[in-house]
Amino acid sequence: LVCGFARIQGHLIGIVANNGILFSESAQKGAHFIELCAKRKTPLLFLQNITGFMVGKKVEEEGIAKHGAKLVMAVACADVPKFTVIIGGSYGAGNYGMCGRAYDPTMMWMWPNARISVMGGEQAAGVLTQVRKDAKERQGEAWSEQEEHIFRESIIDLYETQGHHY
């Protein structure tokens, strides 16, 4: 996570930019920076390409839930103009931490290649394929590789279509 100040046509702004997964440290850094900008009444520009918050036992023990919540809370409570540019993916709770649509930014833009969704199409297809496969095995039904491939591709296509802003 990169945080810093810049001037646009002489106006001071705070920039919060990321490119990938948010860890506990980056969530804390972002929360502190957003709170600083809010205190100084400095507008915020969020540049997001986020796949979400890191998951796993180690990061959960390090407090990712607590620190992620601090970031989301800082975004929600910052009473300054907020501008969001989605330059890649915007997935899961990371969307909230980087001032996604639910936080009603003053303006929001998306690059032509940008995607927004609960999770990425590949990730969703992997999860849903495994769930379907397990259900078929429990019911004693066979599932060919071709059927699995068709199911997986249909999920990816669905996420690609619905996650696109056009």
Same domain, 73 and 29: yes
State the burial class of residue 18 (Cβ atoms within 10 Å of its Cβ: 0-12, 13-18, 19+). Answer: buried
Same domain, 97 and 145: no
pLDDT of residue 2: 97
pLDDT of residue 87: 94
Same domain, 164 and 84: no
Final residue of a domain: which of 98, 115, 132?
115
Same domain, 49 and 96: yes
Same domain, 62 and 133: no
Residue-wise pLDDT tens digits, 108-141: 999 998 888 877 778 888 888 888 988 888 998 8
CB environment 148-161: b (16+ within 10 A), e (fewer): eeebbeebbeebee
pLDDT at 158 over 90: no
Same domain, 127 and 110: no
**The domain containing residue 152 runs over which residues?**
119-166
Same domain, 100 and 123: no
Residue 163 region by backbone torsions, left for phi larger than 0, else alpha for psi between -120 and 50, else beta: alpha
Same domain, 140 and 109: no
- The total domain count for the chain is 2
Residue-wise pLDDT tens digits, 93-117: 888 899 988 888 999 999 998 888 8
Same domain, 49 and 11: yes
Run of H or E including 11: strand 11-17
pLDDT at 149 over 80: yes
Which of 7-16, 41-50, 85-94 has the weakest average pLDDT?
Answer: 85-94
Same domain, 77 and 20: yes
Specify the CATH number for the domain of residue 94. Answer: 3.90.226.10
For residue 161, name the pLDDT band (cuts at 50, 70, 90). Answer: confident
pLDDT of residue 111: 92
Same domain, 99 and 124: no
Q: What does pTM read for this prediction?
A: 0.81
Residue-wise pLDDT tens digits, 34-71: 999 999 999 999 999 998 888 888 988 989 999 999 99
Same domain, 137 and 161: yes
